[in-house]
Structure 1
Amino acid sequence: MSTRSAESRDNSPDGVDASPEKRMSKKRKVLSCYACRNRKMKCDRVYPVCGRCQKTGRADQCTYDPRLLEDLPVNGDGHVDGTTNFGNFAPPDNPSSGAVSSNVLTWKLRVQERRLDLLERRLAASGSAKGSSFGEYPSHFDDFEPDEPPLREEMMFRGKAFKTQFYGSTSPLSVLTQFAELQVFTREALVSDTTMLRIRTDFKAFRNRRKATLKEKGLRTQGSDEEIYALMPDKGIVDAQVDLYFRIFETSYRILHEPTFWKDYRAFWERHSSEDSPASFAAILLYVMAITSCLSPRDENVFVGDSSVDRESALHLIETCDAWLARQNRKHLTLSFFQLQCLSLLAKRVNCLKLKQDWINCGDVVRLAIAAGMHRNPSLLSGGRVSEYDKEMRRRLWVTIVEMELQSSIDFGLQSSLCGLYFDVPPPAHLPDDAFSQDTQQIPASRPLEHFTTASYLILTLQSLPLRVHLLQLLNNPTTDLQYSDVQHYDAQITQLLSSLPSWKDPRAAVPAALLDVQLRQFLLMLHRPYAKLAAKNQRYSYSFTACVDAASSIMSTYDDLVAKGVLVLNHLRNDILRTGITLAQVVYHNCSPSPGPAPVLSSPPSKEPHLPAVDLPETYAQNSIPPAPEVKIPQLPTSNFLTTTLCTTAIALLEKARLTFEHKVMRLGTGYLEYWLFCSALGLMPSTSHSNQPATSIASITHSAPEDIRSRGRKALERVTSLCFRVLAMQKDPEDSFASSLRSAITPQTPLSNISLPSATALASGSDNLMPPVIPGATGIVELAQQGKGFGNVGAFDGLSDMQVDLTGWTFPEFWAFDMAGDL
């Protein structure tokens, strides 16, 4: 830090005019820069130049209290954005890993280069103004800097008292807080139809009964060995599920060593009836059964209430195994203990169970691993206390644990345990499992990355880990002064990493190759989305719009390729589909033109018109507690920019594909209903892509009245959701239970039986009008179909993927939307 000038010393609280008594009593250090402090402005406390001084052109006046030099971190990782923040920095004796500090150092160098460039241009301009001769004038663009748009912090902070939840900027839910038009659309839709409110009541009543039943079962579950063995199915069933697990998961996340597992597996079944059968291995098998419970596509799924039977079976297995695992002693840790912890996390995430606790649970496992020293090089343990087999398994488990924890941190928008953590554990060996065993004295040499092995994912994901951790810190810090040039810089880094990924021909590489691709492209969406919304107003950001559409297209293509191969796993593990859909909807809406016509539609109280039923809205709406809504019109595609029109049209088609993909996940697991409603609402808010000479096609194609246009689109969005509920109702395990009977009575037929048509799994034609599939007329129509011997079509088929990582239980969107449809299991 540079010493302060005489002027800054005079302006400081400890200036020459201060009395000795005052100086003696001033013990607290001044954290803000003196320029901001004197102007009584908020300072972000970033060294060497705070954001406010940099933006206002007073970089030369930005000085800090020199006493802060004593606390300046020496490891280069003092703050999230790579610059030092005197409000919250890491202790200097907590060094970061070399890889992470490399990214931080790069960021610091960019900040310094930016400052030096600014000073050099001002100095050159000053010299030219003083000594210029006739005909030599300084350019007006020498010191030009493009204006940076003001970006608001994106977060979701909800709840009351201590029952609150927080989601940071990288969470896809936080994007919705900046999409107020979608909130208005959902209000108008709910006002126009009372069906959803009745369905909500049925779902919530069933949930409450199920929670009470599960709580009662939980009290009876002791987590004993006998309970573990009682849940073990026949060997033939276990054989198929274990084989599926190794084909799908053990090619990316490495938890089990395959030769050792099969050796223990054969021994387990040979002594299954004896008392010396290891309960830990039985628990591993049950977790594997839970993980693979919902991974196989089923043409005709079966539901218990709103959740699928397979998901309910997985829940029972997980809760019993978790109860058993909680009883195990943590003082004497073993390899199987860490394997069970990883399998427990994976089982709950892949079945979308207990997701509100996922970030907390992942953090606990990371801290267990750190406490066991798994983040350090096992060679530091002298005396041969760790075998070569254990060293390799420690390295594999460490990468698996940190990858799961990092993705959970991204989805929740919270900081990772890796932030500022020093770890020097070497990468795992690039070898197949059969290349080493428990008796191996020396690990063989690694194979080239062009040759695929089941450890390839672990090797390659470590190469991008420092950048992803750095971006997570950067994006979730509201004080980060991220400029558009920085976005382009990180875009180039991500693109380079993507281009360096190898292309494997091995069919086992489908899942790891997809993971390596989408875990990088998700950051392209997060980095470019705030600027892509501004592309219509500033052509400088047109590249961001293109980058968002390109990243979304690549993500959807990756999912489609997996579906074609019969792999249906990423929809349960990751959140790419929801993030892609919401990003595309928001970007398209802000880049379209408002439709001409009558006054815009605002969120309004329930209509008193005779054709609209009275809506029994919750108390929060009745008390007018909803904040004023923005003006909302159905937009139309821009006519003056062909590139923007093409991007919007492509994005709408991708949004419809994402909705179909997410729909298949809902119909397989029986969760994510609220998220599906958001997809349907977002599509209803999109402009029409029908080719017509009329400029107001999106309005005229639906209704002749602007207010009715919003509500007619809202009703069509609601029809999609009720159509999905009909399918759930038709596939009940017990059609006469209380939930099915109540839901059946809540919905009435809406169209004649001759017009019944179930949504096709194939892609629909473009255009907002064509995107709305025909609806199922109601429970009566379904019953008539069954009585006539007609099938329900492909109501349960999987031909796409979706994904939802964040639990939206109880989330209100808007405030009175208390659907509670995501499950709180």
Structure 2
Amino acid sequence: MAEPDGRRRRPAVSCSLCRRRKIRCNRETPCSNCLRSRSEACVYENPKHTPPFPRHHLGQGQTTDSGLAPRSRESMPIDRVSSTSWSTLPSHPSSSLVTGSTGASTPTSQPSAQDAESMRLKLRIQQLEDQLCRSTLRPTQSPVSTPNSNIETTSSRLGGTFHVSYESGASGQPQAIARSITHKTRLFGQSHWAVNGVFLIRDIFEMIEVHLRKETSNAWSGIERCKSLARVIKARRAPPWPSPPTPDLPPKEIADALVDCYLRTTEAIYRILHIPTFRRDYEALWVSNTAPDTAFLVQLKLVLAIGAITYDEQFSLRASAVRWVYEAQIWVSGFKFKSRLDIQSLQTNLLLLLAQERVGVGGDSMWILVGTLLRKAIYIGLHRDPVRLPQMTAFAAEMRRRLWNTILEVALQSSLTSGGPPFISLDDFDTAPPGNFDDDQLVTDDPVPKPADNFTQVSIAIALRKTFPHRLAVTKFLNDLASPGTYEETLRLDAELRAAYKALGRTLQASDFLMHRYLSSLHVPYFGPALHETAYAFSRKVVVESSLKIWRAACPSWSLMAARPRGDAAPSDGDDLPRLAVCSSGFYPTVAIHAALLIALELRTQLQEEESLSPVPLRPDLLSVLDDAKAWCLRVIKAGETNVKGYLLMSVVSAQIEGLMRGLGKDEVAELLAKAVENVEERCLPILEEMAAAQGQGEGAVDGLQQVSLATPVEAMEDWGFMISDALFIPGNTEPMSWIFNDDINPAVPSLW
């Protein structure tokens, strides 16, 4: 503060005793004058000018800096400054300083000792505050050591341009591990299947490209014919836009079957609806003469759309399911609906999210959409347990817990599939898991949950919630930016996930598919290096065995199932998962084809490792996956999938394995690969033509529509949700690898990828 005469008072830099005596102070602790006078009250009132280096006094006229180099106080470690300060300050009012060999001391009077203690405490407080201030201003370092990151850019005519981010130097990692892949404007984390899947077979496409440059082949033109016809079929499936909800429903016997399919599959895992209430409103819909409630009608049509996926083996109601999802999209996007934040709107949003992914209709990826849904749920307080909210009924409380549990599950699964961070942590919510109630218990007064060992309509959801922290840790480890990414952490997470899964016993037998997906995803980043590095042998074994279990769960004995009568509309529980893998889009078929690809890569590596020795005896259970996978891909196309890339992928990998088994040379293997590409048209085009004819189009009409679709700009088609990427099959295209990532650009069209 300025003095009245306009001059500013200088801050005091001398100790209190020297200022009072008006003598020069050398500004040490204690200063020379206080030493000579044997006073303990050498304190400084201005902490900003406290001497930087207190001294220990060894004897009269002898001082030392305690071995400290003459550097500024700010450059000292905090712990060093703290310990030095404490060691030089008086610890008790009656303590004395050593000033000679006799150790004599002069006690001070009681008032002086009290003043000294008070000043000493003030000084110490100021010193601690200064240290805290300096520590908070310093740049913080992450507790996790970040390995060096290197970006490798690869570009080829067939492979396109992509950037692989490797991390090296991490503890326990003998080889650099791919952490992410950047392609155009998209970044994929480790859990995305393409990061550690399709790029392991880049050599196959390079070999095909070199061979086709030398030889005249119709391979790419045949693939293009398949793609052109696929565009026509998908365009015909889409209803006019906009398509507002209508009261039209299928016959009741079909609707009943579709509802049962939904309740038996999706609702058993993702608890969204209160089944007795839903069935009551559903039955009333068929007997009432009044116009149905639009909100319930939209929910019902979404239930029918999801149930139609497992209704039969051909997804014969696909066109109807697409129309029902379009109607729900129009209604949800309406202004009045968007302004509503309640339980019913969240139920509808969840149903729409699942229907868009599985039927293959939507704009953004599920991972993007679930982020909005998560924030809506938090906005209405689902992340807080009902006991911490205003009092409500047991029914309302349990429905809130169930919906929040489902939102967590969908958010985690979408993160694993897309390779994006989950953006949720265990600290973000305190909502308890759902209680072990059957649905009809919730409408009674003061319901009591059943014992944990009693199976109820919510048992699977409860079991999954028990493993949620471990599965969340796996997903964060794979996709979070600050993940340590060490192999030791991989093994630790593996042990914890296995222990949590084993503790559930038989409760989650129906969810083996899901749990093994997390195990496989955890070890897949090390699968590529493990093919050539023994340090990761355990990961190689886990990936192969988990992939085999995933494949057999999704595709059990296809040779036997092919002989069964087709069109059975009353599937058993054992048929539901295989039908989801064949007929749906998104998670289930992607996981299945990825498992088959990893098994194929293991077989290829075994052959390459022993190619100079005698023929390698391959495991029959692994070898059978190759033929089963090609047959499975054809069944997927017959069920309405128009994308032939799954069959193409498995065909070329199988051809390379066949060439290695026969001991063929590089050129002969390349010829086999080219023939495998040509075979795609021979096997897939007739199925697509039959599919187009079933839409009511004759051969001539199909040819005409092909010409129209080929003349339509791709940009215009993308606006209508018909994302067609023919980059792989267009000569000279600069980014042909974009065909791999179709689902993340726009999953509106059913796609294996």
Q: TM-score, normalised by structure 1?
A: 0.60
2:93 aligns with none
Kept in 1, the 8 Å contact 2:226–2:685? The answer is no
Matched letter for residue 681 of structure 1: V
Q: CA shift at 1:368, angstroms?
A: 1.0
- 1:695-706 map, 5 Å: 697-700=661-664, 706=666
2:193 aligns with 172
CA distance in 2, matches of 1:366, 1:407: 13
1:621 aligns with none
User: Per the alignment, in what secondary structure is the counterpart of residue 152 of structure 1?
Assistant: strand
Q: Is 1:296 aligned with 2:311? A: yes
Q: Is 1:392 aligned with 2:398? A: yes
> Which of residues 365, 369, 373 is equivalent to 2:373?
365
User: Per the alignment, in what secondary structure is the counterpart of residue 519 of structure 1?
Assistant: helix
Q: Tell me the number of residue pairs that the alignment of Structure 1 and Structure 2 aligns.
A: 560
CA distance in 2, matches of 1:195, 1:332: 56
Q: CA shift at 1:722, angstroms?
A: 3.4
> Which of residues 202, 206, 209 is equivalent to 1:184?
206
2:632 aligns with 661
CA distance in 1, matches of 2:238, 2:542: 47
Decide whether aligned partners of structure 1 residues 359 and 660 sit closer, same or farther in structure 2, where only a CA change above 3 A counts.
same
Deviations 1:296-329 (A, max 9, x none): 334xx5xxxxxx7632321111111210122143
CA distance in 2, matches of 1:11, 1:466: 49
CA distance in 2, matches of 1:157, 1:662: 26
- 1:664-675 map, 5 Å: 664-675=635-646
2:667 aligns with 707
> Which of residues 314, 317, 320 is equivalent to 1:310?
317
User: Per the alignment, in what secondary structure is the counterpart of residue 180 of structure 2?
Assistant: coil
Q: CA shift at 1:488, angstroms?
A: 2.0
Deviations 1:211-264 (A, max 9, x none): 777888214x3x3xxx421x3233232222112221222221111111111111
> Which of residues 415, 431, 439 is equivalent to 2:437?
431
1:676 aligns with 647
Kept in 2, the 8 Å contact 1:250–1:256? The answer is yes
1:287 aligns with 302
User: Per the alignment, in what secondary structure is the counterpart of residue 186 of structure 2?
Assistant: strand
Matched letter for residue 509 of structure 2: A
Q: CA shift at 1:529, angstroms?
A: 2.9
Decide whether aligned partners of structure 1 residues 711 and 441 sit closer, same or farther in structure 2, where only a CA change above 3 A counts.
same
Matched letter for residue 452 of structure 2: P
CA distance in 2, matches of 1:425, 1:498: 22
Matched letter for residue 675 of structure 1: G
> Which of residues 268, 278, 284 is equivalent to 1:267?
284
1:693 aligns with none
1:102 aligns with none
Q: CA shift at 1:203, angstroms?
A: 5.0
Q: CA shift at 1:682, angstroms?
A: 2.1
Decide whether aligned partners of structure 1 residues 236 and 214 sit closer, same or farther in structure 2, where only a CA change above 3 A counts.
closer
Matched letter for residue 514 of structure 1: A
CA distance in 1, matches of 2:362, 2:69: 56
CA distance in 1, matches of 2:485, 2:671: 40
User: Per the alignment, in what secondary structure is the counterpart of residue 365 of structure 2?
Assistant: helix
2:94 aligns with none
Q: Is 1:566 aligned with 2:568? A: no
Matched letter for residue 174 of structure 2: E
Matched letter for residue 264 of structure 1: D
Kept in 1, the 8 Å contact 2:383–2:404? The answer is yes
Kept in 2, the 8 Å contact 1:430–1:446? The answer is yes
- 1:579-728 map, 5 Å: 579-593=594-608, 639=613, 646=618, 650-686=621-657, 697-700=661-664, 706-720=666-680, 722-728=682-688
Decide whether aligned partners of structure 1 residues 344 and 714 sit closer, same or farther in structure 2, where only a CA change above 3 A counts.
same
CA distance in 2, matches of 1:184, 1:389: 60
> Which of residues 388, 397, 417 is equivalent to 1:380?
388
1:217 aligns with 240
CA distance in 2, matches of 1:292, 1:193: 47
- 1:212-611 map, 5 Å: 217-219=240-242, 221=243, 223=244, 227-229=245-247, 231-271=248-288, 273-275=289-291, 277-298=292-313, 301=314, 310-327=317-334, 328-354=336-362, 356-382=364-390, 384=391, 386-419=392-425, 422-437=428-443, 440-449=444-453, 451-477=454-480, 480-503=483-506, 513-515=509-511, 517-535=512-530, 537-560=532-555, 565-567=574-576, 568-571=579-582, 572=584, 573-574=587-588, 575-593=590-608
Decide whether aligned partners of structure 1 residues 148 and 736 sit closer, same or farther in structure 2, where only a CA change above 3 A counts.
same
Q: CA shift at 1:542, angstroms?
A: 2.4
CA distance in 2, matches of 1:465, 1:718: 45
Matched letter for residue 255 of structure 2: V
Kept in 2, the 8 Å contact 1:189–1:718? The answer is no
CA distance in 1, matches of 2:71, 2:337: 61
Q: CA shift at 1:278, angstroms?
A: 1.0
Kept in 2, the 8 Å contact 1:291–1:351? The answer is yes
Q: CA shift at 1:85, angstroms?
A: 7.9
Q: CA shift at 1:268, angstroms?
A: 2.0
Kept in 1, the 8 Å contact 2:219–2:677? The answer is no
Matched letter for residue 184 of structure 1: E
User: Per the alignment, in what secondary structure is the counterpart of residue 569 of structure 1?
Assistant: helix
Which segments of 5 or more consecutive residues in structure 2 lack a partner in the other structure? 1-65, 77-131, 149-169, 562-571, 708-721, 730-734
CA distance in 2, matches of 1:499, 1:544: 19
Kept in 1, the 8 Å contact 2:238–2:323? The answer is no
Matched letter for residue 461 of structure 2: L
Decide whether aligned partners of structure 1 residues 148 and 240 sit closer, same or farther in structure 2, where only a CA change above 3 A counts.
same
User: Per the alignment, in what secondary structure is the counterpart of residue 392 of structure 1?
Assistant: helix
User: Per the alignment, in what secondary structure is the counterpart of residue 662 of structure 2?
Assistant: helix
Decide whether aligned partners of structure 1 residues 165 and 444 sit closer, same or farther in structure 2, where only a CA change above 3 A counts.
same
Greater displacement, 654-663 / 205-214: 205-214
Deviations 1:69-105 (A, max 9, x none): 57999xxxx98xx848899xxxxxxxxxxxxxxxxxx
Q: CA shift at 1:537, angstroms?
A: 4.0
Which segments of 5 or more consecutive residues in structure 1 lack a partner in the other structure? 1-5, 17-64, 88-114, 116-144, 159-163, 302-307, 505-511, 595-635, 689-695, 746-806
1:55 aligns with none
Kept in 2, the 8 Å contact 1:392–1:429? The answer is yes
Deviations 1:343-382 (A, max 9, x none): 1111112223337432211211111111111111012122
Q: CA shift at 1:67, angstroms?
A: 5.2
CA distance in 1, matches of 2:446, 2:253: 37
CA distance in 2, matches of 1:7, 1:697: 73
Kept in 2, the 8 Å contact 1:533–1:590? The answer is no
Q: CA shift at 1:591, angstroms?
A: 4.8
Matched letter for residue 310 of structure 1: L
Q: CA shift at 1:153, angstroms?
A: 2.7
Matched letter for residue 566 of structure 1: D
CA distance in 2, matches of 1:677, 1:475: 29
Decide whether aligned partners of structure 1 residues 154 and 368 sit closer, same or farther in structure 2, where only a CA change above 3 A counts.
same
Q: CA shift at 1:646, angstroms?
A: 4.7
Matched letter for residue 317 of structure 2: D
Decide whether aligned partners of structure 1 residues 403 and 255 sit closer, same or farther in structure 2, where only a CA change above 3 A counts.
same
